[in-house]
Chains A and B, each alone.
Chain A
Amino acid sequence: MEFNQTFAPATRDYLLFFAQRRLRDAEFAEEVVQETLLAAWRFNHSFAGKSSEKTWLVGMLKHKIADCLRRVSRERGLFESEHETDEFFDRVGRWQAAPSDWNDPWQALTQKEFQTILQQALQALPLRQAQVFWLREVEEFSTEEICKTLGLSATNTLVLLHRARLRLRAYLEIHWFSVRPS
Chain B
Amino acid sequence: MIGLMSCRAAAQNLSAALEGEIGLLQRLGLRFHLRSCPNCSRLRGQLSFLRAVGGYSPRHLAQDVWQDLKPELRESIEQALKRRDSLR
Contact = CB atoms under 8 A, between A and B. Distances in A.
A106 B42 CA distance: 14
B87 A93 contact: no
Nearest to A90: B8
B8 A89 contact: yes
Interface residues of B, number: 43
A13 interface: no
Nearest to B21: A158
A29 to B, nearest CB: 15
Interface string A147-168: 0111000100010011001101
B81 A139 contact: yes
A135 B45 contact: no
B77 A169 contact: no
B50 A137 contact: yes
B44 to A, nearest CB: 9
B69 interface: yes
A158 B69 contact: no
Interface in A110-144: 115-116, 118-119, 122-123, 127, 130-131, 133-141, 143
Contact of B53 (A79, A118, A135): A118
A100 interface: yes
Nearest to B65: A119
A163 to B, nearest CB: 9
Interface in B1-34: 1, 6-9, 11-12, 15-16, 19, 21
A102 B8 contact: no
Contact of B15 (A138, A150, A162): A162
A137 to B, nearest CB: 3
A101 B45 CA distance: 10
B8 to A, nearest CB: 4
Given A82-B9, A93-B8, A166-B11, A145 B84 contact: yes
Contact of B47 (A101, A127, A169): A169
Contacts of B84: 141, 145, 148-149
17 contacts: A89-B6, A99-B39, A99-B46, A102-B45, A115-B64, A118-B65, A127-B73, A131-B77, A135-B81, A137-B54, A138-B58, A139-B81, A143-B21, A146-B80, A158-B15, A165-B50, A168-B50
Given A1-B72, A89-B7, A166-B11, 17 more contacts: A82-B8, A94-B1, A99-B40, A99-B43, A101-B42, A109-B56, A109-B61, A115-B65, A119-B68, A123-B69, A127-B73, A134-B54, A138-B58, A139-B58, A140-B55, A143-B21, A149-B84
